[in-house]
Each structure stands twice: as structure tokens, then as C-alpha cells.
Structure 1
Amino acid sequence: MRWERLFSDLEGMADEQDRAFLESEIADRVRRELARVELSDRLRANDGRICLVLRGGRMLSGDLIDAGADWLLMENREQVLVPLHAVMEINGLGRAVAAPSDMRKRLSMSHALRVIARHRVPVAVEDEMRRVRTGTIDIVGADFFELAGHAPDVPRSARYVQGVKIVPFSAVVAVTTLANQRNSSAESSALWGDSAR
């Protein structure tokens, strides 16, 4: 009788150890998987309203439309391109994760700015000191762009351009497309058609 109880106790302990080992192994695998998740994958898996706190303290709320390797696109009244380096905090982002995409990882900030430049849409460029410059993006390099400064309600022409500034990506907190200043809202939404999910 005592032997049966002893074997039963040993069997119970072995089952408990196996269960604990399995739970530990599962938890370890989950941690390893989560360690590989990039913010851009979380952003791409979520849509809906989010609130950002940007460098310089600006709060920006809107619908998350798209995300690339190092940027996100939101819409409130206008469409706002935000480099991820400018984001200090995100509220309202779900826990879903999109499958990693090699193509999406190649859609960098320079790609997003080239879409804007190609459409010749006036923009407002904000830096972390909350200074805003308006104009049209003429040229996009690997880590900078040229902004021809002019009022948002006039076309980009030599007559209206007040100067051309080189803006490093690292200085940018937000780029707001001002398509509604001169164009229809249909043109504004068509702007991102070739980079939309």
C-alpha cells in the first residue's frame, strides 16, 4: 500500500514537472516571438483612430491609414505623414501584428515623400520646435528633401517661391498634405493610392 502511494506521488510530481516545463517553454517561445515584432508591423495590422505624442509635445489624433518601414500616415482633416523617429508615444494601437513584409520594409520615408513630390501637392512641414514651413517638395534624397517655400494657396511657380530649403528627415516631425487648399478632396485621397495597403 505504501509503495502504491509512493509511486502515485512520484507520478504526480513528474506530471507537475512536465507541465511546468511545458508552460515555461511556451512562455519562452512567446517572448522570443515578441522580441522580433517591429513597431511598423503593429502599425500595419491596425487601423482606426490613434493618438500620437510627437517630439516637441504636439499631440496628433487621427485615423491610421498606412505605415512603412520608418513612417506612418494618419488622416484627420488632412493627411499627415509622420516619421517614426518623431513619435514619443502611441495611444489606441491594438495588439495585432501584421506578418513581416519585405516589400513594406523597403517603403521608407524617402519613398513616401517621393509620392508627395510626384503629385506636386503643397505641404506644411513641422519640426520639433513646432515651426511650420509651407511649400512644395521638389527633390527627395536618401535622407533629405528640398522644399520650395510658398503660401499653400498658390501654385509652385518662380513667381511665388520665397526660397528653397534643404530639410533633413531627422528634423521633420510631421508633413501635412494641403491638397484641399487648391485641389479637391478626391485628389487628396488619390494621392496615397499607390502606397495604400
Structure 2
Amino acid sequence: MRWDRFFDDLEDQLASEWEAERAALDTEAERLRLSQVVLRDRLSVLASRERTTSTPAFEMSDGSTLHAEVSGVGADWVALEPTQPRAGVVLAPLDGIATVMAPHVDVLRSARPIAERSALRDRVTFGFVLRDLVRRRVGVGVTLAASGRQLAGTIDRAGADHFDLALHDSGQPRRAADVTGYRLVSFAAVSWIRLEPDAPLL
């Protein structure tokens, strides 16, 4: 009888040790997975969240805060829909985002493994989106990261790491007579770009 109890206890102990070892391995595997998660992945999950909780808030590199929903994520940028009416879509390079404030449930959900990503979206860069704005002659407001200064105008050309901005009054079409100056703007200097209201994105 005592030997039966001894072997039962031994089996229980081995099973317990095995469970503890498996839990430790699972925890280590999860730590390794999380160490490879990038902000873009988490923003992609926020783009598909149920909008039943409070709206996320994005603290931008210029110090401003935008309350907005994620509407799209590209290779190195995010599209945000601000909660203010007729605010216009915001495009921000990922480097333009300092922090994201979101409900705890969305923070936890965004850390989970994501579904297969679209290879096309992974190739659509910030420069590609700006070149589309050049083609469509969309008026924009550009907020600079370092100073928070805002520039209004139309993007004339977009290169690999910068764009040409023709300055004119916000809400006005780009006419040569109304252009007050030109700026070459580095992508790295941009905190965010607001499109004129009702301008479609891509």
C-alpha cells in the first residue's frame, strides 16, 4: 500500500515538474515572440479593433496629441482618422509617433500574434503615398517634428527621403500666383501631415 502511494506521489511530482517546465518554455517562447513585435504590427491590430471603447490618442513627435482611429498602416507610416468632424485624414511616419494611449483591452489585443499581413501594404512606403498626393494635387498641412511649426500648401514632388512643398493658404487650390514660397522638407522632419477634408486616401 505504501509503495503504491509512493509511486503515485512520484508521478504527481514528475507531472508537476513537467507542467512547470512546459509553462516556463511557453513563457520564454512568448517573451521571444514579443521581442520581435514592431509598432507597425500593433497599429495594424488597432486598425481592426471594435470601436466600442474610447478612441486611442497619439502623442506626436511635435508634442501635439491626436485622438484618432487607425484607418491604415503601410511599410513605414500610418493613416489616422481624427475624431474631430471634418478634420481630414492624417498621415504620419511611424517615427512621428511618440506614444499611443489606448484602452487596456486594445493594448493587450495588439500584442497578440497577428494574421498574415498583405505583402502589398508592406511595400507601400511614406514616399509612395506622398507621390500619390502629388498626382492628385491634394492640399496638405505639414507639422514639423522639432518645432511643431505648420506649413500649408501642395506637394509638388516627392523624392526618396524628402518632398517639395509649394506654400499657399490652407483650403485654396495651388495657383502659381498664390504660391508664397517653396520648401524642401525631409521625411525625417515630419511629425504628421493632414490632408484637406474630403480628400480620399489612395
User: What TM-score does the superposition give when structure 1 sets the normalisation length?
Assistant: 0.85
Contact 1:43 1:67 in 2 (8 A): yes
What is the count of residue pairs matched by the alignment?
184
**Greater relative contact order structure (CA < 8 Å, 6+ sep):** 2
1:88 corresponds, among 88, 98, 110, to 98
Aligned-residue CA RMSD (Å): 1.7
Per the alignment, residue 73 of structure 1 pairs with 79
- Structure 1 position 4, deviation (Å): 2.3
Matched, 1:61 2:67: yes
Where in structure 1 are there 5+ consecutive unaligned residues? none
Query: Shift in Å at residue 98 of structure 1?
Result: 4.3
* Larger displacement relative to structure 2 (100-109 or 9-18): 100-109
Q: Please state how far the C-alpha of 1:46 moved relative to its aligned partner.
A: 2.0
Q: Identity of aligned pairs, percent?
A: 33
Give the TM-score of the pair, scaled to structure 2.
0.83
Instruction: Give the 3-state SS of the residue equivalent to 1:135 in structure 2.
Output: strand
Structure 1 residue 66, shift from structure 2 partner: 0.7
Matched-pair contact (CA < 8 Å) for 1:79–1:176: yes
Superposed displacement of residue 103, structure 1? 2.2
Query: 1:20 & 1:100 partners in 2: Cα distance?
Result: 34
Match for 1:143: what amino acid?
D
Partner amino acid for 1:133? Answer: L
Post-superposition shift, 1:81? 0.7
Aligned to 2:58: 52
In structure 1, what is the Cα distance between the partners aligned to 2:37 and 2:118?
A: 12
1:143 maps to what in 2? Answer: 161
Instruction: Check conservation: 2:71, 2:81, Cα contact below 8 A.
Output: yes
| Matches of 1:18 and 1:167, distance apart in 2 | 59
Aligned equivalent of 1:133: 151
Helix, strand or coil at the partner of 1:126:
strand
Q: In the alignment, residue 61 of structure 1 is paired with which amino acid?
A: H
Letter in structure 1 aligned against 2:79: L
Distance in 2, matches of 1:12 and 1:154, equals: 77
